[in-house]
């Protein structure tokens, strides 16, 4: 037996309105159903932030590893580098090769592989041997004028290329399959400075 929700009067089964008070009655067998709640959508900004943080973390880790590697290599190089000094001559031995400096004109001349200008005074000289290449540089000073010094080296290197600038600056370049010799001659402070570089071994551009 059904009853009116407003006045309590007995109702016939299936009645939609109360015959006494006229109040509407709920339909039998139906139950209001609440709308199903939509599943929450994860915010897109949080995923992008996670990706950025991961990328930053990877970059930081790689940077730390890189700095550690450089520091380790530097430590190994420093550990295996030896410096020897005797009578003003310095010899530095590294894992990559040897570098020497000398103020002995006879030694500089022998290392260059070309005769030193007669009477020239040695200013400095360096020798380096790395990767199958032997490089020697030396600087000399002479009281003779640049053209006389240039004429001397022209006679020693007849096939060399010669470039003259300002009438008293000379550049002489001699190449072959085994040696590359460059000589720069220029006036400085009333003297003639001679800078000689000799490269032997695998000379760039050579067929050997």
pLDDT band of residue 149 (cuts 50, 70, 90) is very high
For position 29, what pLDDT does the model report?
A: 52
pLDDT at 150 over 80: yes
**What burial class does residue 145 get, using C-beta atoms within 10 Å of its C-beta: 0-12 exposed, 13-18 middle, 19+ buried?**
middle
Domains observed in the chain: 81-200 (3.30.2030)
For position 32, what pLDDT does the model report?
A: 47
For position 73, what pLDDT does the model report?
A: 74
pLDDT at 144 over 50: yes
For position 207, what pLDDT does the model report?
A: 46
- The CA distances from residue 199 to 23, 108, 180, in Å, are 115, 14, 5
The DSSP 8-state label assigned to residue 142 in this structure reads E
pTM listed for this prediction? 0.52
For position 124, what pLDDT does the model report?
A: 81
97-102 vs 121-130, strand pairing mode: antiparallel
Task: Give the tens place of pLDDT for each residue, 131-141.
Answer: 667 788 889 99
């Amino acid at each position: 037996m059904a009853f009116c929700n407003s006045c309590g009067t007995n109702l016939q089964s299936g009645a939609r309105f109360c015959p006494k008070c006229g109040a509407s009655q709920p339909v039998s067998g139906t139950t209001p159903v609440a709308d199903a709640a939509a599943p929450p959508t994860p915010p897109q900004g949080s995923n992008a932030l996670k990706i950025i943080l991961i990328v930053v973390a990877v970059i930081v880790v790689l940077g730390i590893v890189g700095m550690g590697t450089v520091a380790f290599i530097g430590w190994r190089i420093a550990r295996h580098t030896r410096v020897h000094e005797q009578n003003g001559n310095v010899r530095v031995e590294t894992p990559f090769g040897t570098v020497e400096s000398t103020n002995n004109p006879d030694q500089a001349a022998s290392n260059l592989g070309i005769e030193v200008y007669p009477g020239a005074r040695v200013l400095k000289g360096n020798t380096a041997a790395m990767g199958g290449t032997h490089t020697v540089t030396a600087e000399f000073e002479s009281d003779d004028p640049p053209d006389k010094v240039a004429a001397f080296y022209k006679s020693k290197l007849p096939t060399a290329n010669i470039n003259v600038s300002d009438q008293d600056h000379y550049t002489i370049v001699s190449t072959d399959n085994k040696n590359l010799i460059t000589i720069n001659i220029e006036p400085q402070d009333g003297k003639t400075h001679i800078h000689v570089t000799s490269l032997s071994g695998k000379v760039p551009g050579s067929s050997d």
